[in-house]
Amino acid sequence: MWQFISLLVLGASAASATLVIRQSQAYACKCYAGESCFPNTSAWQALNTTVQGNLQVALPPAAPCFNSVAGIQTYDANRCQQVRSSFSNQQWTTDHPIANMWTYWTNETCSLYSFNPSATCTRGYYGDYVIMAKTREHIQAGVDFARDRNLRLVIRNTGHDFMGRSTGYGSLIINTHSFKSVSFTTQYAGPGSYRGGAVTVGAGIQVRELYRLANARSPPVVVVGGECPTVGLAGGYIQGGGHGPMSSFYGMGTSSSCSGSLLGDILVDADIFTSITGADNALSFEVVTASGEFVTANEVENPDLFWALKGGGPSTFGVVVSVTVKTFPEVRTSGVSLDISSTNSAVFWQGVAALHDLSNRWVENGMFVYYELSNGRLHVQPMVGPNMTASQINAVVQPMFDRLRSQNVPFTTQTREFPTFFDLYIGMFEDEGAGVSALTGGRIFSRQDISSNAARIIQAYQTVTNNGAFIVGHIVGPGTGAPVVDNAIHPVWRNAASFSITSYAVAGNAALSEKARAQNIITNVVGRALRDASPNGGAYVNEGDLEEPNWQQAYWGSNYPRLYELKQKWDPNGVFYARTTPGTENWEVIDYGTRLCKRL
């Protein structure tokens, strides 16, 4: 039995909420359609006027394939065909007003594959309305509207999100994807001592388009960004930390200082580091806060918010409008591809160990390795060697090849040399798809873990694949390129050598029992194996498990208490919500993934 009782949640906005009682637990919930506290049609029309006609009814991507959704006539044969042909395309997905790249957390209640326009299509866990924001004032209006009316608010940049934080049942969505401004400078003039190159990008800029613009500069420059081309640099990527192909060389997306000019076996040009020593990559943010204020956060203005935004959690402290980050000199870069496929399990896992056991060697040489691992298949595409010629990277990877040959592990490989990192990025990295439904987990492995526990890590990988899960691996060591930093990310990143994402396929509209079984595998079977194999490791908030045990410590370590305090300062009433981020301990999504409520 449950009941609704109107009450007043006292705070800065004094917004009305709904009291919900479940099994003797009382909750103060956000307002939803059908409740007296939910805005009426006139209020939504007024908001649309304020945002200059950029408010839309939120409809799931498959809506054109059905006669109606939420009482709205939606069928359009031509648009339906376009959706079906584009649904697995990441760029199409990021350009959609509300679509999520991976569909599990949408509940998949509007399937593209029914081929029956009369079938039922509902929003599922997608929101009700979306502001396609074009200006910061549109963002401010959306934040004010959600705060004053106690609505669930979702910030969506690209929908490039494993963990469902770009969706939320019954929510108001603010879409920042149209913020595409880019401004380069060769000499940053902001606060602090840094005077090197920088670029200010709008929230909607994606990695590949920024890489392309940076490479077109004269001389070309490079920005520390993600591996996937559709990631939004200023969104959850950088707010969660942000690792990528240049992270072992220049540090994380939120940090990039270096204390030396010798990385492992490769002598690095000393002048590469003269502009980055001892400073963070993120130089300044423009942000709309929970109070609706537009503020700047950097070393001088709002320095505590600046610190929190550099890895303290996505959709947690504000809506980022733009970010200014350092640019670095482009460098020649070489890459190695590697494929191992075998039906002989013992031989295959010897091959996996030959790669992963040397993770410390790879990161100590400033390298990044991207790979995909399933039972009987290891696909490495590529091993990235910044500032290396083909002969130099071959010298670094030779011990791996020697080990593979000595153990009679069959493999294929190719080495390629490029004039810049950008040319390697375009030439060797492979585009990924969208529209897949899966639960994810993940683990950061420290250099100590690799040194002392390498065999157990490989055994844990076997547990992952033997239980039907898949690994997307990143051998990355930001502490090699940036050992001295001051930001909110988990300190374990400074000693990291490898990070793995685990993925287990399960339909978003599967039975609750099947979802529970899948979650148990991710958390308590494969997740436990990875945790047990990495006592010095941690977890990554952008690519992890929403059921991660002791998530505060796992995601942020010693930084968590300060982040919790800053959440109370900058968002005391919980305007922004993203699960397993600072300050969400007392919040819960109840009633089968629908209502967002605070425990009383």
List pLDDT tens digits, range 73-108: 999 999 999 999 999 999 999 999 999 999 999 999
Torsion angle of C-alpha atoms 315, 317, 321, 322, degrees rounded to 10: -100
Are 514 and 556 contained in the same domain? Answer: no
Are 413 and 504 contained in the same domain? Answer: yes
- Of 550, 567, 590, the residue at which a domain comes to its end is 550
- Please indicate, yes or no, if residue 535 is contained in any of the structural domains: yes
Q: Which residues contact 74 (CB under 8 A, 6 or more apart)?
A: 59, 63, 64, 66, 67, 68, 121
The pLDDT value recorded for residue 270 is: 31
- Please indicate, yes or no, if residue 483 is contained in any of the structural domains: yes
Omega of the bond leading into 382 within 30 degrees of 0 (cis) = yes
Are 520 and 423 contained in the same domain? Answer: yes
The series of mean pLDDT values per 10 residues for the chain, 600 residues long, is: 34 64 95 96 98 98 96 96 96 96 94 89 96 98 98 96 95 98 97 92 97 98 94 93 91 46 33 32 96 97 96 96 96 98 97 98 97 97 98 98 98 98 98 95 98 98 98 93 82 95 96 97 98 98 97 98 98 97 97 96
The alpha carbon of 471 is separated from its chain's Cα centroid by a whole number of angstroms, namely 16
- CA–CA separation, 473 and 377 (whole Å): 13
Are 353 and 502 contained in the same domain? Answer: yes
Helix (H, G, I), strand (E, B) or coil at 348: helix
- Please indicate, yes or no, if residue 56 is contained in any of the structural domains: no
The pLDDT value recorded for residue 549 is: 97
- Of 517, 534, 550, the residue at which a domain comes to its end is 550
> Phi and psi dihedrals of 73, rounded to 5?
-70, 125
Q: Which amino acid is at 451?
A: S
Are 479 and 588 contained in the same domain? Answer: no
The pLDDT value recorded for residue 276 is: 28
- Beta strands 16-22 and 4-8 are antiparallel
Are 387 and 525 contained in the same domain? Answer: yes
- Please report, for residues 2, 25, 75, 583, 588, the alpha-carbon distance to residue 593 in angstroms, rounded to integers and kept in the order given: 16, 17, 27, 19, 9
Tokens of 339: 């494929």
Q: How many domains does the chain contain in total?
A: 2
The pLDDT value recorded for residue 255 is: 44
- Please indicate, yes or no, if residue 127 is contained in any of the structural domains: no
- Please indicate, yes or no, if residue 507 is contained in any of the structural domains: yes
- CA–CA separation, 242 and 353 (whole Å): 26
Q: Which helix (H) or strand (E) holds 324?
A: strand 319-326
Q: Which domain holds residue 27?
A: 1-38+551-600
Residue owning tokens 């982040």: 563
Omega of the bond leading into 483 within 30 degrees of 0 (cis) = no
Omega of the bond leading into 245 within 30 degrees of 0 (cis) = no
Are 545 and 558 contained in the same domain? Answer: no
pLDDT tens per residue, range 360-416: 999 999 999 999 999 999 999 999 999 999 999 999 999 999 999 999 999 999 999
- Of 535, 550, 565, the residue at which a domain comes to its end is 550
The DSSP 8-state label assigned to residue 245 in this structure reads T
Are 473 and 581 contained in the same domain? Answer: no
Are 442 and 377 contained in the same domain? Answer: yes
Are 427 and 407 contained in the same domain? Answer: yes
The pLDDT value recorded for residue 115 is: 85
- Please indicate, yes or no, if residue 71 is contained in any of the structural domains: no
The pLDDT value recorded for residue 353 is: 98
The pLDDT value recorded for residue 280 is: 55
Are 596 and 519 contained in the same domain? Answer: no
pTM across the whole model: 0.93
- Please indicate, yes or no, if residue 292 is contained in any of the structural domains: no
- Please indicate, yes or no, if residue 520 is contained in any of the structural domains: yes
The alpha carbons of the chain give a radius of gyration, in whole angstroms, of 24
Least Cα distance to 335 among 273, 378, 409, 397 occurs for 397
Phi-psi region at 259: left, alpha or beta (left = phi > 0; alpha = psi -120 to 50): alpha
Are 573 and 445 contained in the same domain? Answer: no
Q: How many other C-beta atoms are found inside a 10 Å radius of the C-beta of residue 189?
A: 8
- CA–CA separation, 232 and 229 (whole Å): 9
Q: What is the CATH number of the domain that holds 367?
A: 3.40.462.20
